[in-house]
Amino acid sequence: MEKINRRDFNSKMTRGVAAASVLGSMPLACAMGASRQKKKLGYALVGLGSYSTHQLAPALQDAQHCYLAGIVTGTPDKEKIWMDKYGIPKENVYNYDNFDDIAKNPDIDIVYVVLPNSMHAEFCIRAAKAGKHVVCEKPMAINAEECNAIIDACDKAGVKLGMGYRLQSEPYTQEIQKYVREKTFGDVRYISAEAGYHSASNPDQWRLNKKLSGSGALGNMGVYAIQAVIYGTGENPISVTAQEFSTRPEYFKDTDETITAQFEFPSGAIGNIMTSHNISSNKFLANCSDGWYGLDPATGYGPLKGETSKGIIEFPHESQQKLQMDDFAQHVLTGAPHRAPGEMGLRDVMIMEAIVKSIAEGNRKVALNFEPGFGFGE
């Protein structure tokens, strides 16, 4: 397997940034040029399901560097409700057919794609072609090929691309990353992460439809577990061995119910993840040469709780979505650190594909050949 090279990826992204500065005065990037003069950037939410309704839109009311400027929905009845609730003008309301007209709207700087997974690639690419910066909800796409197509489209258009990885912006996760950098507890020997919930009452939801979701628990909750063992070790895995379990085949007819996977890391650390749509669990723990650290809960909307062998970790609770969207807006406005680049989303989908391959091939070990640092934020 050819190694994924961070230098090649960053070279591509650098060309994209350079293109952005050149395109600032061109029609395609008129919104980008305008955004550089703004103190707050306008987000348009694409898809007004539960996450947009209950997390993203409320978070944008409290954000410091961005605000809710527009919406894109396939449900006409939602248009007036959202316009009235958030004061969104009619000209900032779009549907899936006229979405490309967003290119002409200077109010909208960032498009946040919050659609079923099978629609991520299409709308991220359309947003990039419209000259808008892009945030893509997890998982990035159905497969690595689609992820690369999104990255290429954003590169070509000279727009920024970020993942909707809220935990990369919240303080407990950042504290764990600090422990890893500073080796506060020595070398990681073993790390485990569990992310799942019990899906009990809606067999018709899109997450259980493989054509819309691409996978079940793995692409939904599994991304959190994969992220945790990576940021909790500071390394990309070099191999994975995985297993799949089904105890309710009559309910989970089309998608995976529960998956476990074991990772090996370059340092010699080993890791284990569990993800499920039938088991409620939300924690991670790292055992190190000089102690341990962990979060429980680790991946919920908060407040999270942390503990180490030296004591309790405690931070004031803030909306993770607010922090995430502010971070990306600051990255666009000032060049602040990019905590969850598209490269990170690509890496995680490639790991998901390796997990699926391991299961399909009788739970055999599958090699993962990433360059050191590939997929990490700044």
Enzyme catalytic residues: 138, 224
Whether omega for the bond prior to residue 341 falls within 30 degrees of 0, making it cis, is no
Where residue 375 falls (left for φ over 0; alpha for ψ -120 to 50; beta otherwise) is left
Q: For residues 93 and 184, what is the distance between their CA atoms, to the nearest angstrom? A: 49
With CA atoms as reference, report the closest residue to 274 among 190, 358, 353, 194.
Answer: 194
3-state helix, strand, coil in the chain (%, to 5): 40, 20, 35
With CA atoms as reference, report the closest residue to 241 among 354, 370, 369, 349.
Answer: 354
Residue type, 300: G
- The total of other beta-carbon atoms located within 10 Å of residue 84's CB is 9
Q: For residues 8 and 91, what is the distance between their CA atoms, to the nearest angstrom? A: 40
Question: How far lies 165's CA from each of 85, 311, 333, 352, in Å?
Answer: 26, 27, 19, 16
Which residues contact residue 167 at a Cβ distance below 8 angstroms, ignoring those fewer than 6 apart?
A: 173, 224, 227, 299, 320
Residue type, 279: I
